[in-house]
Copies of this chain bind each other. A is one copy, B any other.
């Protein structure tokens, strides 16, 4: 048996757990915290006092409850004072948000861009400009405790190197290091769909679900897989790249060099091509096609039917292989799924194994396009939620 943890380690861990509870669930009474954590109230009081002294939480009266009697105080995260910066490099936009402890977006700024290759230096410069102006706007006395970046491609998380971003034309770009150097603070980088999966599980439609697959449609289709409550990483952390599961051998050429990948057959570009709407691009094109189909346009309906069928093959495969509780459609796949749900479901009914398809729920993202951004904020908060006092002290001194 390993040596028991020291009192200091136990305290640090309990501070972290308490802070995570109020970060994820919002204001909680000391009694609720005591029950959730299996600790007595005097220990909760001591922990709360420490976190309040540091400026991470405060205790206050809850909103009117309508109940008689003296209301008990609730412990609330210092959402205005303690924040992170969440960045999202998508295939068709850059976004930066300031997100308070507790998870609410305080402030955001977004820059659409044309899809296609994008010079890393330009991206870094643009993100740094957006980030710095947002930090300048933050009120004095507030403190930034982390920076997280969601990227639309394969990321080596341990050092923030983009291994492969086909929709933006990057190979082996150390975006984490480049941005850290520019901003003067560490930047954690994750795959956008992985972070979207975490966001939907923590703050979206998948709350409490232990086995969830999140599919994020942008230009391509990214996937984030949470199994048994843990993000599926695989050997190098690239697990969950379901967009490059081949559903149609010899089918449409994919940017990865292969053919018939799920993203080539069921992504935005496939829909635009099938509908013959190359006059439009991106989200606007998807919206226009969905709209036309709703008005009865036969080409648009056929296109959605076709894309929905391939999406259904992909979903059936994922359901058979993973036996998830829930599949969540995010980004533009949200709109595509809503317009082609019958097709997806009928494909699943034919090709899904009974024991797994009978229980799975198909849902649309609650956070829509912001799922990766919200997940990037969670990534940025990770250090604070592991060691609250040290992380805060380091942030205040930097």
Contacts and interface: CB of A to CB of B under 8 A. Distances in A.
Interface residues of A, number: 60
Given A163-B355, A238-B323, A323-B236, A1 B245 contact: no
A354 B238 CA distance: 11
A246 B359 contact: no
Given A246-B313, A246-B316, A350-B258, A232 B356 contact: no
Nearest to A164: B355
B1 A241 contact: no
A37 interface: yes
Interface in A245-285: 245-249, 256-258
A346 interface: no
A156 B359 CA distance: 14
Interface string A312-326: 010011101111110
A39 interface: yes
A182 to B, nearest CB: 25
Given A154-B353, A258-B350, A353-B244, A321 B1 contact: no
A227 B234 contact: yes
A138 B31 CA distance: 58
Contacts of A322: 232, 234, 239
B211 A234 contact: yes
A121 interface: no
Contacts of A324: 234-235
Contact of A154 (B228, B247, B355): B355
A1 B38 contact: yes
Interface string A1-19: 1111000001001100000
A288 interface: no
Nearest to A317: B245
B241 A164 contact: no
A237 interface: yes
A234 B356 contact: yes
A360 interface: yes
A351 interface: yes
Contacts of A62: none
A111 to B, nearest CB: 28
A10 B13 CA distance: 22
A235 B211 contact: yes
Interface of A: 1-4, 10, 13-14, 37-39, 43, 154, 156, 163-164, 210-211, 223, 225, 227-228, 230, 232-242, 244-249, 256-258, 313, 316-318, 320-325, 350-351, 353-356, 359-360
14 contacts: A156-B355, A211-B233, A211-B234, A233-B323, A234-B324, A236-B355, A238-B323, A238-B353, A238-B356, A241-B356, A246-B316, A248-B249, A257-B350, A258-B350
